[in-house]
Amino acid sequence: MKRTWTIIGVGDVPRSFKWYQALFGQPASLPAHDYFGQILDSDGTVLLCLRTWGAHEHPSLMSPDHVRALSEARFQEKSVHEHGSPARVR
């Protein structure tokens, strides 16, 4: 079976890590790093990954504003591809 790992950009990995552990009913522990942590199920399945905004300059995790701009640009590209000209998209 193949699985995807959901990665969420956050401002504070340790604080968010603690919150998600409480949400999933898991015992408290610390993330592997201050900039990255994985919430794992009891069998080791990755439930969620948390990464600090801007850590390691991953394009889709630079900042919430950067993600919004990337999403809008991709939506425009897809819409233009499906509908023809940008004028028809608007």
**Mapping DSSP to helix (H, G, I), strand (E, B) and coil, where does residue 11 land?**
coil
Minimum mean pLDDT among 3-12, 49-58, 70-79: which range? 70-79
H helices of the chain, in order, are 13-23, 64-83, 86-89
Summarised one tens digit per residue, pLDDT across range 32-68 is 999 899 999 888 889 998 888 776 666 666 666 655 5
| Whole-structure pTM value | 0.63
Give the chain's largest Cα–Cα span.
53
- Are residues 46 and 89 in contact, defined by beta-carbon separation less than 8 angstroms? no
**pLDDT at site 89:** 46
- 36 class by beta-carbon count within 10 Å (0-12 exposed, 13-18 middle, 19+ buried): middle
